[in-house]
Chains A and B, each alone.
Chain A
Amino acid sequence: MAHDAPTIAETLRRQGISRRGFLKFCATTASLMALPPSMVPAIAAALEKARRPSVIWLSFQECTGCTESLTRSHTPSIEGLILEQISLDYHHTLQAASGEAAEAAREAAMRENHGKYLLVVDGSIPLGNAGYSTIAGISNLDMLKETAAGAAAVIAVGSCAAYGGLPAALPNPTGAVPVSAIIKDKPVMNVPGCPPIPVVITGVLAHFLTFAALPELDDRGRPKVFYGESIHDRCYRRPFYDQGKFAETFDDEGARKGWCLFKLGCKGPVTYNACATTKWNQGVSFPIQSGHGCIGCSEPGFWDMGPLYKPLSMPIAPVQMMVGAAAAGGAIAGTAMAMRNRAAKKAAQAAHQKVTVDDLEKAK
């Protein structure tokens, strides 16, 4: 990235976009970044100075769902983002180059933008056998370490990169770990979700390119603006939870009326994400609006946190057998205790000696 490269504001102006158009861009960017509209002047000021950052995107043990999600972002569109606002120098699914040329592009971007480029990772990293997942003959672990060394910051996109995800689900055959388990000396931001909401991915990228820094993170490394509140707290069906109106099955009266899905196993109360407000597919809907409870895909270890369709307050595993056995054990132990007590009583009775007044008189 040359230092005299045009700023983003200059690029937009060269494209014939007016100040008014720029302010509109800032307003939609604020909305995209989930920042309050009062931040628009600050965003405008930051974009006046911001330059196109170089982005390297690495895909490890993943399903490409995160990239599929990214390409469905409409604000800014991925085309707009790549062509105008960021320099996506390596992404083995989206780039035209392949083989050695692709790796050369990654190395060149790392060299030219050392210390300044943004590294985006999707997928988890296997620590078991290095051969479980390689790119161009390089193990995922080596490629991550090598590429993270010169990065300004690392964004772990998707639940696999953020928490281990599906590959790390029990019994975790590849020894999969998240990015944060390996990279300790760089700021690592987690953008979990399976996949994350498209505009959340572009939103955090927009934040980095606007302010040249990561947004404020919570204690699990997630951007607070998107993951600060639970689905349940921001759910439009929340009033029904409070009124005690629940769908009991997926096709009953309550389901048709759009009542709360808690009893059908909705994980909204323990899931922190922006689905309920940002929504999916250009803000059309999100799972709960479509009549299905949240499955908690953006929470750590969601594959192993119990059945999807059991309410949160229900036990995860059947306990009846164990409790029945314990009760039977209690009854047996109680009977044993009773027998011991009775034996003690009998013994006491047997040991009982009769004493008459005469005996006492004699004892004097």
Chain B
Amino acid sequence: MTPLELLTWARGPGLSIALAICAFGILLRLFEIFSLGRKADLSKAREHSPGSGWRTILSRSLPPPGLMKRAPVTYIGGYVFHLGFAITLFFFVPHIELVRGLTGLSWPGLPTQVIDISAVAGLLALIAVLASRLSNPVKRLLSGFQDYLAWLLTFLPLATGYLAFHHLLIDYTLALALHILSVELLLVALPFTKLFHTVSVFVSRWYNGDIFGRKGVAS
């Protein structure tokens, strides 16, 4: 199989399979999660706090006082990674072309220099949070196989994309094929691992905020 044939497979059957598994998994899990429900809360709400869930979506995105000092790598690394990853994912023109190809939607992209900086920042942040996870005894104790898997599956698309764009180490065609394949792995694993937070994060935050609101905890 030549690199171009691998790329053709990745752009064709590979992508179809990955997207199908991803869509199947996301729907499956959403149906499952929403249908589970919670036990009816029979107690009276402490105070009426409409919008508590919505406020929590925002407030949980900001570091609580003190934690920035106690866990700077987690916070700064987390922000830098998520921003870098999102900018690279949504504003690199070939990525927008992919979305346009799938959905017909498109928006303006950013110059490759900006994408380059975002990708490097994302990669460095990922390396920093992994180093922190491995060196901090508490984090290491809390980490399981799935955490490292999620890290690897996120790292690979950024790394292979970077190699492809800069023509480093491997031939561009092969790098592009590996890049697309690594994204397909990510798509396949997304619904069934902690990576599902990309879909569920704001739902669970709203839920937590709403429950705590009922219990009288300000959001």
On whether the two chains bind one another, the answer is yes
Name A residues whose Cβ lies closer than 8 Å to a Cβ of B.
220, 230, 232-233, 241-244, 246, 262-263, 269-270, 299-302, 304-306, 310-317, 319-320, 322-331, 333-335, 337-338, 341-342
Contacts of A324 in B (CB 8 A): 23
State which of A242, A262, A311, A334 has its C-beta within 8 Å of the C-beta of B101. A311
Q: Is the CB of A323 within 8 A of B173?
A: no
Chain B interface SS verdict (over half): helix
B4-A299 in contact (CB<8A): yes
Contact of A341 among B15, B25, B32, B173 (CB under 8 A): B32
- Those of B2-20 within 8 Å (CB) of chain A: 2, 4-5, 7-8, 11-13, 15-16, 19-20
Q: Report 18 cross-chain contacts, Cβ distance below 8 Å, ordered by A residue.
A: A232-B172, A233-B167, A241-B112, A242-B111, A244-B93, A244-B109, A270-B4, A300-B2, A311-B101, A314-B11, A314-B98, A314-B100, A315-B11, A317-B16, A319-B15, A319-B16, A325-B20, A338-B31
Which residues of B lie under 8 Å from residue A322 when comparing CB positions? Answer: 16, 19-20
Asked whether A304 and B24 contact (CB < 8 A) given A242-B113, A262-B93, A310-B101, the answer is no
**Which residues on A sit within 8 Å (CB–CB) of B29?**
334
In the complex, what distance in Å separates the CA atom of A232 from the CA atom of B167?
11
Interface residues on B, range: 35 or more
Is the CB–CB distance between A334 and B12 below 8 Å? no
A334 lies within 8 A of B113 (CB): no
Asked if B110 CB lies within 8 Å of chain A CBs, one says yes
> CB < 8 Å: which of B25, B95, B167 contacts A313?
B95
B94 nearest in chain A by CB position: A313
Contact among A233, A300, A330, A338 for B35, CB-based, below 8 A: A338
* Complex CA–CA separation, A124 to B210 (angstroms): 70
Taken together as a complex, chains A and B put the C-alpha atoms of A330 and B30 apart, in Å, by: 9
B97 interfacial by beta-carbon distance below 8 Å: yes
- A328: chain B residues at CB < 8 Å are 27
Q: Which residues of A contact B36 (CB under 8 A)?
A: 338, 341
Answer yes or no: B28 CB below 8 A from chain A CBs: yes
Q: Are A327 and B32 in contact (CB under 8 A)?
A: no
Q: Verify A337–B5 contact, CB threshold 8 A.
A: no
Chain A residues within 8 Å of B109, by CB: 244
Q: Mark B97-135, 1 if CB is under 8 A from A, else 0.
A: 110111000001111110000000000000000000000
- A330:B111 contact, CB within 8 angstroms: no
Of residues B7, B8, B24, which shows the largest number of chain A Cβ atoms within 10 Å of its Cβ? Answer: B24
Q: Residues of A contacting B11 with CB < 8 Å? A: 306, 312, 314-316
Chain B residues near A338 (CB-CB < 8 A): 31-32, 35-36
Contact in complex: B16, A334 (CB < 8 Å): no
Assembled-state Cα–Cα distance A334/B108 (Å): 36
A342 to B31, CA, bound (A): 12
By beta carbon, the residue of chain A nearest B97 is A311
Whole-angstrom distance between the Cβ of B184 and the nearest chain A Cβ: 11
Chain A neighbourhood of B167, CB < 8 A = 233
Q: CA–CA, A301 to B94, complex, Å?
A: 23
A337 touches B27 (CB 8 A): no
A249 to nearest B CB, angstroms? 13
Residue of A at shortest CB range from B111?
A: A244
Indicate if B159 sits at the interface (CB-CB under 8 A): no
- The smallest C-beta distance from A76 to any residue of chain B, in angstroms, reads 33
Give the interface centre of B16, B110, B167 by most chain A CB atoms within 10 Å. B16
Are A270 and B7 in contact, with the CB atoms below 8 A? yes
Does B21 lie at the interface of the complex (its beta carbon under 8 Å from any beta carbon of A)? Answer: yes
On chain A, the residues within 8 Å of B2 by CB distance are: 220, 300-301
In the complex the two chains form, is B93's CB within 8 Å of A306's CB? Answer: no
- Asked if B26 lies at the interface with its beta carbon under 8 angstroms from chain A, I say yes
Please tell me if B176 contacts chain A, counting CB pairs below 8 Å.
yes
B177's nearest neighbour on chain A, judged by CB, is A270
Asked if B24 and A333 sit within 8 Å, CB to CB, the answer is yes
Partner of B16, one of A220, A315, A327, A329: A315
> Min CB distance, B196 to chain A, in Å?
13
Please judge, given known A-B contacts A242-B112, A313-B98, whether A330 and B27 are in contact too, CB under 8 Å: yes
B173 touches A270 (CB 8 A): yes
Q: What's the nearest-Cβ distance from chain A to residue B183, in Å?
A: 10
Instruction: List the 10 shortest-distance A-B pairs measured between CB atoms, nearest first.
Output: A334-B31, A330-B27, A338-B35, A314-B101, A326-B20, A313-B94, A330-B24, A316-B12, A327-B23, A326-B24
Contact call B31/A331, Cβ cutoff below 8 A: yes
Known interface pairs A331-B27, A337-B28. Does A305 touch B4 (Cβ–Cβ under 8 Å)? yes
Chain B nearest CB from A43 CB (Å) reads 30
Contacts of A270 in B (CB 8 A): 4, 7, 172-173, 176
Q: Which of A246, A330, A342 has the most chain B CB atoms closer than 10 A to its own CB?
A: A330
Kindly list chain A residues whose C-beta atoms are within 8 Å of the C-beta of B24. Answer: 326-327, 329-330, 333
